[in-house]
Structures are given as structure tokens and as C-alpha cells.
Amino acid sequence: MLVIALAGAAALLALAAIAAISAGATAAPRIVYGTSLVIATVSLVEAATQLLGWAAPQTLTLPFGVPWLGAHFHLDALSAFFLVVVDLGAASTSLFALGYGRHEQAPQRVLPFYAAFLAGMTLVLLADDAFTFVLSWEFMSLTSWALVTAHHRVPENVRAGYVYLVMASFGTLALLLAFGVLAGPDGHYVFSQMRATHPAAALGALALVLALIGAGSKAGIVPLHAWLPLAHPAAPSQVSALMSGVMTKVAIYGFVRIVLDLAGAPAWWWSIPVLTLGGITAVLGVLYALMQHDLKRLLAYHTVENIGIIFIGLGLALAFKAYGMPAAAALALTAALLHVFNHSLFKSLLFFGTGAVLTATGERDMEHLGGLIRRMPQTAFVFLVGCAAISALPPLNGFVSEWLTFQAILLSPHLPSWGLKLLVPAVGALLALAAALAAACFVKAYGITFLGRPRTSAAAAAAETDGFSLAAMFLLAALCLIAGILPGLFIDALAPVSWVLIGARMPVQIGVPWLSIVPIAQSRSSYDGLLVFLFMIISGGLAASAIHRFASDRLRRAPAWDCGYSDASPATQYTAMSFAQPIRRVFGSFVFRARERGEMPPPGDMRAARLSVELHDPVWETLYAPLAAFVGFGAERLNRLQFLTIRQFLSLVFAALVALLLVLALWS
């Protein structure tokens, strides 16, 4: 199994090389995406068999990399689960791109990096020593950076690429240090050796903080999320789906691997930063999203929100594990991992939908769209499924994982520490707020884009997208529904992972009557997605047929009363900005210092009245701008070094050498 996964990664690398040579050919997109689809499907089947069959972990050492270390690879339940997520995302994205990729202007800048990016993500999951891990991680970052700057003529994309590159190197540095801390003075860089050396709690906490910075910056934890809403939308849509839906999950894998697996037994206070940051990330992510009217950027901010939800689950798992409550820890971990899986499904789906809209209209700005449900009915339907899933509405999959997270939060009174007893409900309140705001946000995203009347001629002339793209979207929508109505299957599939990390698993769900799920005990809580689904289908069908039966034949056609206005222009509809206004007034005024300014021309002036909104990004202004100013100041000072004489350069080298020798001489 491991060999096949590795061979898949190698094949993807070879494919990248082929793509680099033959990207000019007209058949190149078909070949690259088609081959990626096949490779990802094979790897997906293998990983799923490994996970579902409770197969024993496999390891493999290849003789390259650092000479005395070699390259270690492994496939255990955790890797297998994330491999399923990555391969499912890769397969559906390749399927989507078979159709969507035809519209690509510069395929030679996308195709080679696409295949290499997939290979990089796979290798991160398979790595079994710190060197291979960091190398693959950096490879993944660099290839995705190349994809972000694929359309490099757009100045925004160049800036996004720059910010991404800076943040990615910073994150990798933190990861490097985390592994350094865990490797200890003897330099145990192989994961199995790291696991065997139990670091002190303080060192473990240091590794936790570094992992939170390193993996968190890749996943998009506030305040390290700054690059994410710039970079994800800048890439071509299929890559946006991969970055948002899959790469953030690889980052979460890195965090889980380091903190729950390698860092040894957790202390209870490790969970505090994870929970706090998770709660803040969830709420701030969705608030940012509400302020956006660029569809792709809105989705990218929602990724930030969902990462927050996942981190809340992980923080709870840490707390429960530290207090020796394995059943509760298994529940929290399963909830987080299930949300990882679910989010990869519906976020890919939504980005595909956005890509379809982008191809059909050439627009990402919601204010220029509208009425697409008539022009693109199938895309509109699957996009609606995705919106309902990400808004955590039953019977879809988003509800299940968020409900499980709440179940874990409701167990917090059993925690012995008062700090956590107070913190966890507060985080739960933040989570509830984020969930509600997310629903509002997707009402906005769907309503403004697909309902109403077209706001521009481009939106009015849109046509339904191609068959491959629709197939990929329907596949993901179907998976969203299946995971929503049969969650027990997926919870049971996650049991090996929590068995590896926690040493416990959630109760077996498959035998529960009526296919409902029971996270703790029947007396406490249960949820049955299938019943909810059937109830909705039956009641909805009854209502529809009743209306049709009793109301349709009472239909009378008459001129509508138009309130005295003749044919209102599309501009009189709700806009994205006006829809978000109540929330902007409640939350935005103190989070974003939002100021609205209405500009009313004086009587007699024929200009249109204007409403403009001024927003301040709190994270950017309080954290990044001062930091950038400081770095700029330092660089300005250091610039003088460039104008030294040759002798002074030599003296610098000499002084450095002597100083190092002095340190060596005075050391201990």
C-alpha cells in the first residue's frame, strides 16, 4: 500500500516533468489532468483500504536524502485518512479540470506545477522523518506558490505570491525549529525515535507553539492567515479548490502529527492556546468573509473559519487526553477529523462552482452577478448543496461534524480544571456565533449570485458549464449528502485514527438502529441524518404536492401591482454590501472600524448618490504593518553593509571567525 502511494507520488513527479516539456501541446491539459485523475483514484482506493481494513502501519526507508538518515516513509491510520482526503480532493479536482482547464490561458505555467503540487502533498503525508517532512512541505509550498503566481501579469497576484512566499518560509522555519526541539540533543530525526524520547512538558509546549505557528500559518489560523485570502483566490479555480480544500488539511495533518503523536503526553494547559485561537479564528474568519463581495475571497475567508472549527476540536481532544478522558478525547478528535473530511468536500465543491461561474461570466465580483439560477440551473443546484453543507444545515455533512464538536464541548463540565471549565463554553459560544454568521454569509453568497436578476450583461448571457465540471460537482454534492445521512459509516472509518492517537475510539455506530449516531450514550444525545432527510423529503414533497393540488388550479393571471414604479432596474435589488449591512453595523464597527459614508448630491445635480464603506483590517494594521515597517527599517540600516571596502568585508569575516572561535574557547 505504502509502495503504491509512493509510486503514485513518483508518477506525479514524472508527469510534472512531462508536462513541463510538452505543455505547449493542445492535448497536454487532457493528458495531465486525466493521468492525475487515474493516479489519485488508485491511491485513494489503496489509502481507503488501508484505513478501513485497520491494516498495520507500514514503513519503508529509501537510500536518498541526508546520508546518515535516508528517507523514511510510513503509512499509518492517520496518514491513510489524510491521504484519503488529499486523493479525493485531487481526483475530483482533476475531473473538474478536465473541463475547466481548457479555458486556461497559460497552461504551461499551471500543468507542471499542478502535478508536482499533488506529489508534494502526498509526500508530506508519507514522510516518516523530519528531513523528508520539511523537504516535502517546502516543495508543496513552492509549487503552490508557482500556481498562485501563474497569472503573473496581474499585480494583485504578484503581491499575493510575495506575501505567501514570506509567510510560507516563516512557517517552515517554525516547523524546522519544532522538529529541532523534538529531536533533542541526540538528533533523533526519525519519527519513531522522536516518539520514543518523551520530552519534558516545557519542551513539548515549545514544540506545540512552534507547530501552531508553522502548521497554523499554512492552515490559516488568525492572525497568521493574512496570506490565505490573497493567495487562494489568485490561483486558477481548480488550484484554489486544492489549496483551500486540501492543502490546509495537510497543514492540519502536520499539527496533529507533531502535537498529538510526536510531542508525547500533553499537559492540560496545552489546549488553552489551541482552543482560544480556534475560537477567534472561527469568528474572525466568518466576519471577514461577510465583508467580502469577491466570491473566491469570501470562500477563502470561510476556509479560515472552518480551520478554526477544526482547531477547536483538536484543542478539546488535547484537553480530554491530558485529563485521561479517552472516550471524550476520541469524540473531539473524530469531530475535528470528520470536519476535515467534510470541509474538503464542500469547499472544493464551492470553488468548482465559483470556477464555473467565472468561466461563464468572467466575473468573481458578486455585485456584477445575479440571476444565474436560470442560466446555469445545474451549477446553481450543486452550489446550493455546498452552501447548505458549509452552513451546517441538516441533513448534510457539515451539520454532523459541527454537532459532534458541540457534543464534545458539552462534555467540558467533566473537566477537572476550572480554567477550561470556563474557557470551553466561551469557545462554544464563539463557535455557535460563527455557525450562525456562516449561514448568513452563504445566504448572501448564494442569493446575490444566483437569485434575483442579472446585474450585468455578462451575467445575463451566462451559459451552463461543461460536463466534466458538472460531473465533479455532482460527485462532491452526492458525497456531501451521503456523509450527512450516513455519518455512522464515516465515524467508524475514523476509529483507527483515534485508536492510534488517543488509544480509544468512539462507540461503534454501524449497529445502532435506524442508522443514527450516538456519540456518547443513547440517553444523552443522538442524531439520525437519514430520518431528517426522509422527513424533509416527505414533508417537502407533501407540501409541494398539496400546494400544487389545491393552489395551482386556483391560479389566476393578473397584472402585478408594481407600487407605482415601472420596471425597476436590477440595481434596486439587494446587493452584497447592503445585505451585509446589519451585521457590519453590529460587529464590523468595532472589529473592522467600519465607517459608512453616504454621498448625496445637492438638489439639481444629476449625479448618482453613492454609499462607500471603509474597512480596516485589524490584524494587518496592528501586526503586519508594524512588522513590515520594522523589517524595512532594519533592511535600510543593513544596506550600509553593501558599501564597505574590500578590507572591511575581510575584517567582517575575520571578526566573525574570531568571535566564533572565542565562543568555542569559552564554552563550558
Using CB under 8 A, list all residues that contact other proteins.
643, 645-647, 650-651, 653-654, 657-658, 661-662, 664-665
Spatial distance between the Cα atoms of 474 and 308, rounded to a whole number of angstroms = 27
Q: What share of the chain is helix, strand, coil (3-state, %, to 5)?
A: 75, 5, 25
DSSP states of 440-478? HHHHHHHHHHHSS--SSHHHHT-----HHHHHHHHHHHH
How far apart are CB 668 and other proteins at their closest, in Å? Answer: 10
Residues 6 or more apart in contact with residue 479 via CB below 8 angstroms: 88, 345, 397
Residue 75, number of CB atoms within 10 A of its CB: 27
Nearest to 125 by CA among 13, 54, 43, 216: 43
> Which is closer to other proteins, CB of 200 or CB of 665?
665
Residue bearing cell 448534510: 396
Task: Give me the residue label for grid cell 568585508.
Answer: 649
In whole angstroms, the minimum distance from the beta carbon of 663 to other proteins comes to: 10
**Which of 26/642 has CB closer to other proteins?**
642
Distance of CA 156 to the CA centre of its chain: 21
Name which of 523 and 645 has its Cβ closer to other proteins: 645
Whether cis (ω within 30° of 0) applies to the bond prior to 395 is yes
Return the ∠ at Cα 451 (arms to 449 and 456), rounded to 5°.
60
Question: Helix or strand or coil: residue 190?
Answer: strand
Whose Cβ is closer to other proteins: residue 563's or residue 646's?
646
596 three-class SS? strand
Nearer to other proteins (CB atom), residue 25 or residue 656: 656
Residue 627 vs 662, nearer CB to other proteins = 662
Judge contact between 388 and 446, C-beta under 8 A.
no
Q: Which is nearer to other proteins, 521 or 650 (CB)?
A: 650
Residue placing its CB nearer to other proteins in the complex, 630 or 654: 654
Task: Give the Cα separation of 556 and 224 in Å (integer).
Answer: 58
Report, in Å, the least distance between residue 638 CB and other proteins: 16
Where would I find the H helices in 127-267?
A: 130-148, 155-183, 191-196, 201-219, 228-234, 237-242, 248-256
**How far is residue 452's CA from residue 113's CA, in Å, rounded to a whole number?**
39
The secondary structure of 303-361 as a DSSP string is HHHHHHHHHHHHHHHHHHHHTT-HHHHHHHHHHHHHHHHHHHHHHHHHHHHHHHHHHHH
| 569/642 with CB nearer other proteins | 642
- Cβ distance to other proteins smaller for residue 554 or 640: 640
Helices 271-291 and 295-322 pack at an angle, to 10 degrees, of 160
Which residue lies nearer to other proteins by CB, 552 or 645?
A: 645
Question: Closest approach of Cβ 611 to other proteins, in Å?
Answer: 54
Q: What is the DSSP letter of 511?
A: T
- For the bound state, the minimum distance from the C-beta of residue 185 to other proteins, rounded and expressed in Å, comes to 18
Q: How many angstroms separate the CA atoms of 57 and 127, rounded?
A: 13
Instruction: Give min distance, CB of 16 to other proteins, in A.
Output: 37
